[in-house]
């Protein structure tokens, strides 16, 4: 690695974005096509093409115009910080791209992966966002011309390829971990449905079904409320002037809770606990705690806190679950992340920007409560899956941090 850094320092030249790529806007020919894959801004995110479904050419929106080729980079003109970008690493002959995306083509003697790494590096994205905000207001927008002269370090082609190879190994490991995490989550949901929706739990053949207000359920199971399994505890009403950009005690806000049931601390505020005396003791949270968003259109989002900090604090309008028994934890978590229950919570809050959930509303949700033996067995099985998931999440956090540190040295 030191040899590579020495090569970069001695053989690189200072160039700019326009030395790496140039914009293209070739128009797609629809004359012989009935269906194509239309790629809009939201269909690319952090290197992935999310939408790959074919659409009728007769129903495409007016902005469906641009051609992409293997090795191109697509990059959103709107809000660079939202990370809508991807490298085209597949046969794209049936793809047509929105005019809202910049299509960037690689110049001679430039490795596509290296150019993509430079364009999407966090420090460069922050600068692009600043440029966008200086040019427009409500919807920060950039053009290629706005970033074309942005200075970057450009080593020779073999060194570019080596950099892309090294950083690609980090990305591949992170991607593989994410696939395992996704499979673990899907397996946990499948077991929940098999046991508590289809009632095919271990030993179900010997259990009699009986009537209840929620239909037939296994004997010794009952209909109850979530309040019999857990309590919801509110966060603290922090004053905005107490927040800091850096520190060792993060404050978890609604913005940090994502729809994929994780907590993202990329943009987290910190506090100095010395500013508060001992009043925050009841609002301290830790890795493994399960949280719920309780305000606005995000109401009902559930997330498990797991990151590289030792201690956190909970902001107002975010709730923390306190379980009456440990065996209630994963049953409650998966129950609340079921789509119909998330939608019910959102409806209860009225789904508006001003809508709020109360702890009582969450606690009063009706649910089937299995017998204690089944709950304990389910918790044991699912706990091991989530422990594996959390290990992989933390490993990904460390990999991303190491990758970013290395990236800063390499480019």
Residues 6+ apart with CB under 8 A from 1: 166
The angle that helices 329-337 and 339-348 make with each other, rounded to 10 degrees, is 70
Domain range for 335 is 222-369
pLDDT by residue (tens digit) across 244-289?
Answer: 988 999 999 999 998 888 898 878 999 998 888 888 989 999 999 9
Residues 53 and 145 in one domain: yes
On whether residue 127 sits in a domain, the answer given is yes
On whether residue 185 sits in a domain, the answer given is no
Residues 113 and 233 in one domain: no
What CATH number does the domain containing 109 carry? 3.90.220.20
Residues 150 and 17 in one domain: yes
Residues 274 and 350 in one domain: yes
Residue 114: the pLDDT is 94
Task: Work out the number of other CB atoms within 10 angstroms of the CB of residue 296.
Answer: 18
pLDDT-flagged residues of the chain (< 70) = 1-12, 81, 136-138, 351-353
Residues 151 and 246 in one domain: no
Residues 232 and 330 in one domain: yes
Residues 227 and 359 in one domain: yes
- Residue 254 contacts residue 267 (beta carbons within 8 Å): no
Among 99, 124, 155, give the residue marking a domain's end.
155
Residues 6+ apart with CB under 8 A from 284: 311, 312, 313, 314
pTM over 0.75: yes
Among 121, 155, 189, give the residue marking a domain's end.
155
On whether residue 309 sits in a domain, the answer given is yes
Q: Measure the CA–CA gap between 270 and 245, rounded to whole angstroms.
A: 6
Report residue 26 as tokens. Answer: 């070739």
Residues 98 and 232 in one domain: no
Among 100, 134, 155, give the residue marking a domain's end.
155
Question: What is the separation, in whole angstroms, between the first and last Cα of the chain?
Answer: 13
Classify residue 61 by burial, with Cβ atoms within 10 Å: 0-12, 13-18, 19+.
exposed
- Residue 225 contacts residue 214 (beta carbons within 8 Å): no
On whether residue 82 sits in a domain, the answer given is yes
Task: Work out the number of other CB atoms within 10 angstroms of the CB of residue 299.
Answer: 25
pLDDT by residue (tens digit) across 365-379?
Answer: 999 999 999 999 999
On whether residue 204 sits in a domain, the answer given is no
Residue 12: the pLDDT is 67
On whether residue 55 sits in a domain, the answer given is yes
- Residue 101 contacts residue 39 (beta carbons within 8 Å): yes
Residues 18 and 131 in one domain: yes
On whether residue 215 sits in a domain, the answer given is no
* Residue whose pair of structure tokens reads 């409500």 in the numeric block: 138
Q: Measure the CA–CA gap between 275 and 112, rounded to whole angstroms.
A: 49
Q: What DSSP line would sit under 312-328, residue for residue?
A: EEEBTTEEEEEESSGGG
Residue 353: the pLDDT is 64
Q: What is the 3-state secondary structure (H, E, C) of 27-46?
A: ECCCCCCCEEEEECHHHEEC
pLDDT by residue (tens digit) across 32-49?
Answer: 788 888 988 888 888 888
How many domains does the chain divide into?
Answer: 2
On whether residue 148 sits in a domain, the answer given is yes
Residue 41 backbone zone (phi > 0: left; psi -120 to 50: alpha; other: beta): alpha
Which of 370-393 are b and which e, b meaning 16 or more Cβ less than 10 Å from the residue's Cβ?
beeebbbbbbeebeebbeebbebb
Q: Quick one: which of 390, 375, 286 has its CA closest to 334?
A: 375
Residues 347 and 243 in one domain: yes
Residue 231: the pLDDT is 97
Task: Work out the number of other CB atoms within 10 angstroms of the CB of residue 328.
Answer: 21
Residues 20 and 149 in one domain: yes
Residues 139 and 226 in one domain: no
Which of 73-107 are b and which e, b meaning 16 or more Cβ less than 10 Å from the residue's Cβ?
bbbbbebbbeebbbbbeeebeebbbbebbbbbbbe
């Amino acid at each position: 690695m030191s040899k590579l850094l020495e090569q970069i320092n001695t053989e690189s030249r200072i160039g700019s974005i326009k030395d790496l790529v140039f914009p293209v806007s070739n128009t797609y020919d629809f004359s012989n096509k009935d269906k194509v894959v239309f790629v809009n801004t939201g269909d690319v995110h952090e290197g992935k093409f999310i939408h790959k479904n074919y659409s009728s050419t007769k129903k495409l929106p007016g902005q469906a115009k641009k051609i992409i080729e293997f090795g191109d980079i697509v990059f959103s003109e709107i809000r660079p910080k939202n990370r809508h970008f991807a490298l085209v690493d597949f046969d794209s002959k049936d793809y047509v791209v929105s005019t809202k995306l910049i299509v960037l083509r690689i110049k001679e003697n430039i490795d596509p992966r290296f150019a993509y790494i430079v364009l999407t590096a966090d420090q460069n994205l922050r600068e692009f966002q600043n440029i966008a905000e200086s040019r427009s207001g409500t919807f920060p927008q950039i053009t290629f011309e706005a970033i074309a002269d942005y200075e970057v370090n450009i080593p020779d082609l073999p060194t570019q390829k080596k950099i892309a190879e090294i950083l690609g190994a980090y990305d591949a490991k992170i991607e593989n971990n994410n696939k395992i995490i996704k499979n673990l989550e899907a397996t946990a949901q499948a077991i929940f449905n098999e046991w508590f929706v289809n009632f095919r739990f271990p030993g179900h053949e010997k259990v009699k079904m009986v009537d209840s207000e929620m239909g037939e359920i296994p004997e010794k199971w009952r209909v109850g409320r979530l309040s019999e399994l857990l309590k919801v505890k509110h966060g603290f009403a922090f004053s905005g002037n107490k927040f800091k950009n850096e520190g060792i005690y993060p404050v978890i806000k609604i913005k940090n809770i994502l729809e994929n049931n994780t907590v993202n601390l990329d943009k987290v505020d910190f506090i100095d606990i010395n500013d508060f005396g001992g009043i925050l003791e009841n609002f301290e949270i830790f890795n493994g705690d399960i949280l719920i968003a309780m305000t606005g259109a995000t109401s009902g989002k559930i997330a498990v806190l797991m990151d590289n900090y030792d201690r956190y604090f909970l902001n107002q309008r975010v709730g923390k679950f306190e379980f009456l028994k440990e065996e209630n934890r994963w049953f409650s978590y998966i129950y609340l992340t079921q789509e119909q229950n998330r939608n019910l919570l959102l409806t209860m809050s009225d789904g508006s920007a001003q809508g709020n959930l109360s702890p009582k509303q969450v606690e009063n949700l009706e649910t089937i409560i299995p017998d204690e033996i089944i709950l304990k067995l389910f918790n044991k099985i699912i706990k091991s899956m989530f422990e594996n998931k959390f290990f992989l999440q933390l490993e990904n956090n460390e990999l991303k941090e190491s990758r970013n540190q290395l990236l800063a040295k390499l480019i």
